[in-house]
């Protein structure tokens, strides 16, 4: 027990050091790549605006805090989700997890972006050649989580990132590591979560589309091919610290209040608030809001606004959960997320 608490203290101290080293994005805002890593999955987590990192459980926790997956040590869970994102982009998500007694829980997940058909343009045909293409952005994740004590949960994600645009592609890997702690200061229902997200080596594109032809200038060498070296780009790493308090209102209902601070290396930091009301463990109502630091007087940085959602649980021997989330988006149509989760 003492060893587990020592590990927790070391982890929290490390996150404080990282916060000092990696400040808010400032001049680096918008310079990171692999932005698909920042698109949330799952309707419950999005309806709570990502604020419930301290207590989110099951497959939805894979994205927000992998430590929450450890709750699935004695069951199997499958989840399917679709997000209508901005600019007619969609994201589909599928995942399955299972638990092993004495070992922990494992999950396999796949995220895929759908950009639709994009016209091919060239220098000679800036208005289109008549052909179309569709980029392929896929993330395959493997998650491991375990409950060290009755209060401490830990988890880690390993994500394989593949980006392909016509005949050029980039391959990368990122890591997430998270901790959830229940019963802070011996207060029942008070939770804390810490998660480091999207840490990994730089990525760059490569492929035949980066080849160019140098025309012969009259020498005997003829036309020569040369390759453009694409610049490398960093991943959009983040650090999130969350607190949550869960309290039973009546014998049939309970309420969760959650808040989180999100430190972004390539964007302004965010402060998040959210709440969830659950009735008879069957119906849930949710809402959330975030404030962007250094942008309180302008809407330019705050692309996304309030979030709302609801959930419905049905138990027929197999527990079926339907979730929906709405997120306001400035300049674009609102985001809509639909999720279905099966628990065996």
Q: Which two tokens stand for residue 14?
A: 């490390």
By the 8 A CB rule, do 74 and 99 touch? yes
By the 8 A CB rule, do 69 and 62 touch? yes
SS3 152: strand
pTM: 0.87
Measured CA to CA, the distance from residue 261 to residue 257 in angstroms comes to 14
Mean per-residue pLDDT pooled into runs of 10, the chain (344 residues):
50 50 56 89 94 93 94 83 93 94 92 92 87 94 93 95 94 96 89 95 92 70 77 93 94 95 88 96 96 62 88 92 95 93 91
Class of domain 2-343: mainly beta
By the 8 A CB rule, do 334 and 326 touch? yes
CA angle 196, 199, 205 (to 5 degrees): 150
Instruction: Find residue 31's DSSP bridge partners.
Output: none
Q: Which two tokens stand for residue 71?
A: 């709750």
- Give the model's pLDDT for residue 21: 46
Residue of 205, 104, 105 whose CA lies nearest to 161: 205
Measured CA to CA, the distance from residue 176 to residue 155 in angstroms comes to 8
Helix, strand, coil shares of the chain as percentages rounded to 5?
15, 50, 35
- Give the model's pLDDT for residue 316: 87
Domain ranges of the chain: 2-343
Count Cβ atoms below 10 Å from residue 42 Cβ, excluding itself: 26
Alpha helices in the chain (DSSP H): 2-21, 43-47, 61-64
Measured CA to CA, the distance from residue 79 to residue 141 in angstroms comes to 14
Instruction: Find residue 311's DSSP bridge partners.
Output: 284, 323
SS3 36: helix
- Give the model's pLDDT for residue 12: 52
300-304 LR contacts (CB < 8 Å, sep 24+): 301/267, 301/268, 302/330, 303/86, 303/329, 303/330, 303/331, 303/332, 304/328, 304/329, 304/330, 304/335
- Give the model's pLDDT for residue 143: 97
- Give the model's pLDDT for residue 247: 94
Measured CA to CA, the distance from residue 180 to residue 183 in angstroms comes to 10
Residues 6+ apart with CB under 8 A from 297: none
Residues 6+ apart with CB under 8 A from 163: 34, 36, 135, 136, 137, 169, 170, 171, 203, 205
CA angle 88, 89, 93 (to 5 degrees): 140
Measured CA to CA, the distance from residue 117 to residue 126 in angstroms comes to 17
**DSSP-derived secondary structure letter, 158:** E
By the 8 A CB rule, do 104 and 195 touch? no
Q: Which two tokens stand for residue 122?
A: 């060239």
Residues 6+ apart with CB under 8 A from 164: 135, 136, 137, 170
Instruction: Look up tokens 């309290």; give the residue.
Output: 247
Q: Which two tokens stand for residue 25?
A: 């994005």
Measured CA to CA, the distance from residue 236 to residue 196 in angstroms comes to 11
- Give the model's pLDDT for residue 292: 85
What is the enclosing helix (H) or strand (E) of 164? strand 152-165
Measured CA to CA, the distance from residue 336 to residue 36 in angstroms comes to 17
- Give the model's pLDDT for residue 124: 86
């Amino acid at each position: 027990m003492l060893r587990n608490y020592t590990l927790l203290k070391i982890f929290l101290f490390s996150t404080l050091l990282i916060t000092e080293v990696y400040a808010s994005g400032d001049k680096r805002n918008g310079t990171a790549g692999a932005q698909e890593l920042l698109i949330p999955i799952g309707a419950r987590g999005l309806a709570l605006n990502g604020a419930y990192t301290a207590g989110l459980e099951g497959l939805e926790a894979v994205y927000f805090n992998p430590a929450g997956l450890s709750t699935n040590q004695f069951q199997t869970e499958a989840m399917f989700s679709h997000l209508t994102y901005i600019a007619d982009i969609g994201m589909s998500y599928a995942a399955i997890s299972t638990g092993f007694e004495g070992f922990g829980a494992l999950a396999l997940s796949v995220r895929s972006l759908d950009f639709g058909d994009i016209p091919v343009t060239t220098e000679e045909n800036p208005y289109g050649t008549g052909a179309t293409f569709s980029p392929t952005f896929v993330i395959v994740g493997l998650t491991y989580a375990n409950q060290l004590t009755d209060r401490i949960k830990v988890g880690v994600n390993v994500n394989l990132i593949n980006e392909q645009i016509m005949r050029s592609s980039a391959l990368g890997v990122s890591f997430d590591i998270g901790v959830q702690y229940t019963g802070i200061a011996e207060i029942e229902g008070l939770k804390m979560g810490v998660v480091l997200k999207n840490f990994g080596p730089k990525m760059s594109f490569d492929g035949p589309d980066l080849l160019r032809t140098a025309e012969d200038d009259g020498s005997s060498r003829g036309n020569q091919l040369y390759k453009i070296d694409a610049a490398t780009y960093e991943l959009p790493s983040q650090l999130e610290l969350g607190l949550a308090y869960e309290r039973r209102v009546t014998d049939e209902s309970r309420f969760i209040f959650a808040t989180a601070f999100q430190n972004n290396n390539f964007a302004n930091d965010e402060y998040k608030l959210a709440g969830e009301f659950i009735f008879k463990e069957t119906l849930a109502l949710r809402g959330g809001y975030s404030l962007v630091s250094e942008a309180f007087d302008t809407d330019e940085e705050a692309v996304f606004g309030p979030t709302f959602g609801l959930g419905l649980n049905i138990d027929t021997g197999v527990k079926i959960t339907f979730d929906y989330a709405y997120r306001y988006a400035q300049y674009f149509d609102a985001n809509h997320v639909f999720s279905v989760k099966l628990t065996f």
